[in-house]
A and B are shown apart, each in its own frame.
Chain A
């Protein structure tokens, strides 16, 4: 599951500090619903601020607040720069 098709860019691939726009939110309906409730809906702008000491979780900034998520969740968010 680590391998991703080249044409799909997810939040895990996004370099820190780069602005991006959410294209779609995948994952189990539990995860995608929660993400969307927290404002990660298609069209919203966000950026990855940093990752924790052991590389996981990551801090994402959107809608004026910071959200921490594990890479497994970030993988479900498809973005476009």
Chain B
């Protein structure tokens, strides 16, 4: 009967409400054979996988979680376009699997009633049926199917219950046309939203005839948990504790694997040097490519850990509670309650923080969060703060007992937060101005997270990070390397990198070689440093600091290693910090004045709080906003702000007699 349709590659769409168990079902149907990309031109994620249903290969499309097909949000628009076959690059689906949560039947069925109106056959996959029956409710699946006039299959991804039957039913419906099981009345009394009213009336009748609720509902476990977790006082205490744990984890527990990765790349660079003949290719490979890519891959443990936590919080249902608790606070600045976690994560690293903004549905709220995330002082700024404080403010106290260094450190974090709040406030009233989207958020019942879903989500994010950010970062690393490497000032064969703290592999030391600091001075980067000197002079920076600023555009902590190269500090890493402190303190400008004063150090710290100085962040912003406009805007406004703030600090400080 359907011989032609069976032969070709089938396309099946998987649609359902958020939290309905769609992802779990998708994973169990496709296994590891899935692809994640974006729909062209937008940041809505497009997830596809291959599913074999009784011998036929089908392309399974996981639509974004949605409540309606009325195209009010971007997700809904895309889902609608996929179902109607209008989305370019996606064939019109042969059937839709509607994922319906049995414990939340009425609202879940709303989307199903809409699907009937598109002429694509629908099979209902009823999830959470085990939970539903545990609560002593009963559901008559045959009756439900008869009333909906479409097949209904109870599925359980854990036990594989109903998976074969689902495949069978899907094959059966392909080629048929669904029947809309209700009729709209032409003269509706309920105004513009009459259709919604009609659909829900139909659903109420269906549920009344097919479901028997027990009286046990009052004692739901989720309500008991919520009494504690969303308590007006303890709820906030627990939230802070959870955030601290997440923060602590990405901040400190990730440091061991990060160190290992750093050492690994370091060793790889050394290995390349010993194996390859000295020369430009060895330098490019070791200093440009391995060091550049290594510098990015080092972030991977933080990203994996953060996404492990986010998946756990999201899947367990806690994330919605956190947003519920904090929404009032965040809405004062014009942000969504869900912006809190990405911002806290950004204290460890803005990259996973920005990637975590995906949980915010409203595009404008999300972009505002992305734009301010890099103001949170990340771990890469710490080496810069530490160097400046250790060099110029060590051992000094405020009020006799508080360490000046600690006060300054705290002030830098506070400065970032205050500026972020102001910028968010301004952005939400200008560039990202919009009527506040309705804050309507489901508080799903608490559930034990599905380990497989959590791990898969984590790996997907990690892979996307490596793939997308990695390509841009690799290109920029090579450019920066070239800027510091060319032109060569003599016949020398090798100069070690400014980008990492690699020690020189002794084999290449020859008598004719210029010191690295000399090479850097004559490189394009050195010339650039001279070129920008007039611009940075009002900040109290000489051209050498300018070179360090340019180099640290790759990543903030590179400032430290670049300064050690510029001041020809010994390469022994164990002594580096000791000697670098002295070198910075004793450094002279070309006309013999001290290059650094405590005021210069403070100005540099202020600059680093506010400047973007991180190509990885820009690459991730490019990916997450799907446009070059936003990262360029970020680069421009953050650098501008940093310059102005540094100018005020330096000139103000000088006027007050410091420095």
Interface residues of A, Cβ cutoff 8 Å to B: 25, 28-39, 41-42, 44, 49-50, 52-57, 59, 63-70, 72-73
Contact status B440-A69, CB under 8 Å:
yes
Contact status B440-A68, CB under 8 Å:
yes
Contact status A63-B235, CB under 8 Å:
no
Nearest to B236 among chain A residues (CB) is A53
Q: Could you say which residues of chain A place their CB within 8 Å of the CB of B441? A: 57, 67-69
B324 located at the interface, meaning its Cβ lies under 8 Å from any Cβ of chain A in the complex? yes
| Known A33-B70, A42-B190, A52-B230: A73·B442 in contact at CB below 8 Å | no
Q: Could you say which residues of chain A place their CB within 8 Å of the CB of B197? A: 36, 41-42
Contact status A73-B440, CB under 8 Å:
yes
| Known A54-B328, A56-B328: A68·B104 in contact at CB below 8 Å | no
Binds A, one of B105-113, B289-297, B622-630: B105-113
Task: Kindly identify which residue among B106, B192, B193, B217 contacts A39, using a CB–CB cutoff of 8 Å.
Answer: B106
Contact status A50-B230, CB under 8 Å:
yes
Interface string of B431-451 (1 = CB under 8 A from A): 000011011111111000000
- Interface hits, B185-228 → A, CB 8 Å: 190, 192-193, 196-197, 200, 217, 223
Task: Kindly identify which residue among B193, B328, B435 contacts A57, using a CB–CB cutoff of 8 Å.
Answer: B328
Tell me the complex Cα distance, A20–B67, Å.
Answer: 24
Contact status A70-B106, CB under 8 Å:
no
Q: Could you say which residues of chain B place their CB within 8 Å of the CB of A30? A: 72, 435, 438
Chain B interface residue bracket vs A: 35 or more
Q: Could you say which residues of chain A place their CB within 8 Å of the CB of B105? A: 64
Tell me the complex Cα distance, A2–B223, Å.
Answer: 31
Nearest to A28 among chain B residues (CB) is B435
Nearest to B222 among chain A residues (CB) is A66
Contact status A66-B193, CB under 8 Å:
no
Contact status B328-A37, CB under 8 Å:
no
Tell me the complex Cα distance, A25–B223, Å.
Answer: 27
Contact status B70-A67, CB under 8 Å:
no
Tell me the complex Cα distance, A69–B328, Å.
Answer: 11
| Known A33-B196, A39-B110, A57-B327: A68·B67 in contact at CB below 8 Å | no
A21 to chain B, nearest CB (A): 13
A65 to chain B, nearest CB (A): 5
| Known A29-B192, A42-B197, A52-B230: A73·B438 in contact at CB below 8 Å | yes
A74 to chain B, nearest CB (A): 10
Tell me the complex Cα distance, A79–B435, Å.
Answer: 25
B184 to chain A, nearest CB (A): 15
B236 to chain A, nearest CB (A): 6
Nearest to A70 among chain B residues (CB) is B439
Q: Could you say which residues of chain B place their CB within 8 Å of the CB of A39? A: 106-107, 110, 200
Tell me the complex Cα distance, A64–B17, Å.
Answer: 15
Q: Could you say which residues of chain B place their CB within 8 Å of the CB of A32? A: 193
Contact status A34-B442, CB under 8 Å:
no
- 7 closest residue pairs by CB, A with B: A54-B328, A66-B443, A63-B106, A37-B68, A36-B196, A70-B439, A53-B232
Nearest to A35 among chain B residues (CB) is B440
Task: Kindly identify which residue among B107, B320, B443, B445 contacts A63, using a CB–CB cutoff of 8 Å.
Answer: B107
- Interface hits, B442-488 → A, CB 8 Å: 442-445
Q: Could you say which residues of chain B place their CB within 8 Å of the CB of A42? A: 190, 197
Q: Could you say which residues of chain B place their CB within 8 Å of the CB of A70? A: 327, 331, 438-439
B411 located at the interface, meaning its Cβ lies under 8 Å from any Cβ of chain A in the complex? no
Q: Could you say which residues of chain A place their CB within 8 Å of the CB of B68? A: 37
Tell me the complex Cα distance, A38–B444, Å.
Answer: 13
Q: Could you say which residues of chain A place their CB within 8 Å of the CB of B561? A: none
| Apart from the given pairs A52-B232, A57-B328, 14 other A-B contacts in the complex at a CB distance below 8 Å | A25-B193, A30-B72, A33-B192, A36-B196, A36-B200, A37-B70, A39-B106, A42-B197, A52-B230, A52-B325, A54-B328, A64-B106, A65-B443, A70-B331
| Known A36-B196, A68-B320, A73-B439: A56·B106 in contact at CB below 8 Å | no
Q: Could you say which residues of chain B place their CB within 8 Å of the CB of A57? A: 324, 327-328, 439, 441
B391 located at the interface, meaning its Cβ lies under 8 Å from any Cβ of chain A in the complex? no
Nearest to B327 among chain A residues (CB) is A57
B357 located at the interface, meaning its Cβ lies under 8 Å from any Cβ of chain A in the complex? no
Tell me the complex Cα distance, A36–B68, Å.
Answer: 10
Nearest to A37 among chain B residues (CB) is B68
A sample of 20 inter-chain contacts (CB < 8 A) reads A31-B438, A33-B72, A33-B192, A34-B438, A36-B196, A36-B197, A41-B190, A41-B196, A52-B232, A55-B328, A56-B328, A57-B327, A63-B106, A66-B444, A68-B440, A69-B438, A69-B440, A70-B331, A72-B436, A73-B440
